[in-house]
Amino acid sequence: MIVASHRGPERFQREADGTFTRQRGAGGVVSALQPLLAGGGAAWIAAAMGDGDRAAVAAGAARSDDFDLHLLSLDPDAHRLHYDLISNSLLWFLHHGLFDLPRRPVFDDRFEEAWSAFRSVNQAFADEIVSAARDGDPVLVQDYHLALVPAMVRAQRPDVSLVYFQHTPHCGPNSMGVLPTTAATELLASMRSCPTGFHSQRWVRAYEACCEIVAGMAPGPAFAAPLGIDPEALDASASGPEASRELALLDDLVDGRRVILRVDRIEPSKNIVRGFLAYDLFLERNPQWRERVVFVALLYASRENLAEYQAYRAEVEHAAERVNNRWATAGWTPIALDPEDVYPRSVAGMCRYDVLLVNPLKDGLNLVAKEGPYLNERDGVLALSTEAGAFDELGDAALAVHPFDIAQTASVFESALAMDSDERKARAARLRELTASRTSRHWLDELVAHARAEAG
């Protein structure tokens, strides 16, 4: 099997003595795939992500015990344009509907250069796939950073068993028209050259509508295959000593109060500010709940080189501050905002919550919405946005959140905290059943099957 993803399963760092140490790579795609594939003989093609990776490649030390690792040392300027401008500032914003359209995006002469760089990075991945692929190997191309790879591979090797999976939502035809026409057509033409998967049937439909309406092409084969959790890894984390220590610290912090939890990157699509506004409204409407609940917000920064993320982080912090300034008492801080990225703390939070808030504007899947209910030990309630891909599977057992409607979200807090224990138990049991029954292994098997079916 060959996996291609923008980030690799391991990152390298050069130590003072000239040797290299390794750590697990970051990001959702790596977290999902790494444990499934480690030690199974898979080839993994990824970009060298920084000076450490690049030095390891140069020294011939970019090797892994678990994979046949192919780290690509890309031209740093081209890689920056590929990643910051096209992937993160354009395609991510497009598919999540984050643009303030009267103002952004503006396509100028720089765009042509950035798009060429995006193309050249995709070509480097495609070339590596072509040279690594043996007959019958399924090739799994992961996510929008590599959306042009399928057509590039097909152009050289029509025989390869290829599948492309996009972890984000896919925008509809109105939004797709925001892209310059040639770029939109190039993306869609590439995606239709092999089976294309998403976490939700909604993104499949949107992709198909884009092919038909924006590009005037019949869509290629497309399918929905939601990612599942990794039960063994979660069980191991939850029963480990670090999670226990974090759970004790959390218990001290909340001091017997009810816990509303969120665990998110600081990211505009996660809708963190409206979550705090809804909590503010909830406290205003429900004096009886003041001092009896804590909103634990485990938030960690990302993409801080982009102005939009710096601005959003400030807005998140200001919103939390306003709520705390308005309602805090001597012994009670309504929102505990924790900006550190400590995984055992997230695990502890997921074990402990009474209400888990997952209210994105739009989200390809949202794995926290699955991991939380799987781990939770208190029959906690899942408050889940209808716009998260995971709502397709979990919606019936969750309380539905309308992400733009803070009055409705405040009512969901009320319902969740007032819910009788029979209903909580029944919903929590159903959520555990749903999240435990479809694992990341199922997802991977489906991707491979789609790749193989098409080649056959």
Check binding of 223 to a second copy (CB under 8 A). Answer: no
The correct pick among 41, 102, 216, 456 for binding a second copy (CB under 8 A) is: 102
Check binding of 265 to a second copy (CB under 8 A). Answer: no
Structure tokens at 403: 């992400």
Check binding of 277 to a second copy (CB under 8 A). Answer: yes
Instruction: Let me know: does 451 contact 162? Beta carbons within 8 Å.
Output: yes
CB of 192 vs a second copy, minimal distance in Å: 21
CA atoms within 13 A on the CB side of 155: 10
CB of 191 vs a second copy, minimal distance in Å: 18
Instruction: Let me know: does 9 contact 49? Beta carbons within 8 Å.
Output: no
Check binding of 103 to a second copy (CB under 8 A). Answer: yes
CA distances from 199 to 167, 363, 443 (A): 7, 10, 9
Burial of 66 (C-beta count, 10 Å sphere; 0-12/13-18/19+): middle
Residues 358-377, mask of contacts with a second copy (x by CB under 8 A): ---x----------------
Residue 326's nearest CA partner among 279, 292, 263, 293 is: 279
Stretch that binds a second copy, among 53-61, 155-163, 234-242, 273-281 (CB under 8 A): 273-281
Structure tokens at 124: 């480097």
Size of the site for a second copy (CB under 8 A): 43
The correct pick among 38, 233, 253, 281 for binding a second copy (CB under 8 A) is: 281
The correct pick among 387, 397, 412, 435 for binding a second copy (CB under 8 A) is: 387
**Under 8 Å CB-to-CB from 441, ≥6 apart: which residues?**
36, 228
Q: How far apart are CA 397 and CA 428, in angstroms?
A: 8
Would you mind telling me the total number of residues written for the chain in this entry?
456
CB of 273 vs a second copy, minimal distance in Å: 7
Q: How far apart are CA 216 and CA 213, in angstroms?
A: 5
Closest CB to a second copy among 7 and 199? 199
Residue 63's nearest CA partner among 3, 20, 4, 18 is: 20
CB of 254 vs a second copy, minimal distance in Å: 27
Stretch that binds a second copy, among 101-109, 124-132, 220-228, 375-383 (CB under 8 A): 101-109
Residue 48's nearest CA partner among 113, 115, 110, 128 is: 128
Give the β-pairing of 20-24 and 10-14.
antiparallel
The correct pick among 27, 28, 35, 105 for binding a second copy (CB under 8 A) is: 105
**Amino acid code (one letter) for 428:** A
Check binding of 174 to a second copy (CB under 8 A). Answer: yes
Residues 388-427, mask of contacts with a second copy (x by CB under 8 A): --------------x-xxxxx-------------------
The correct pick among 97, 231, 344, 395 for binding a second copy (CB under 8 A) is: 97
Stretch that binds a second copy, among 3-11, 229-237, 268-276, 345-353 (CB under 8 A): 268-276
Q: How far apart are CA 60 and CA 39, in angstroms?
A: 20
Check binding of 98 to a second copy (CB under 8 A). Answer: yes
Q: What does the binding site for a second copy look like in residue numbers (CB under 8 A)?
A: 97-103, 105-109, 111-112, 171-175, 177-181, 206, 268-269, 271, 273-274, 277, 281, 312, 315, 361, 386-387, 402, 404-408
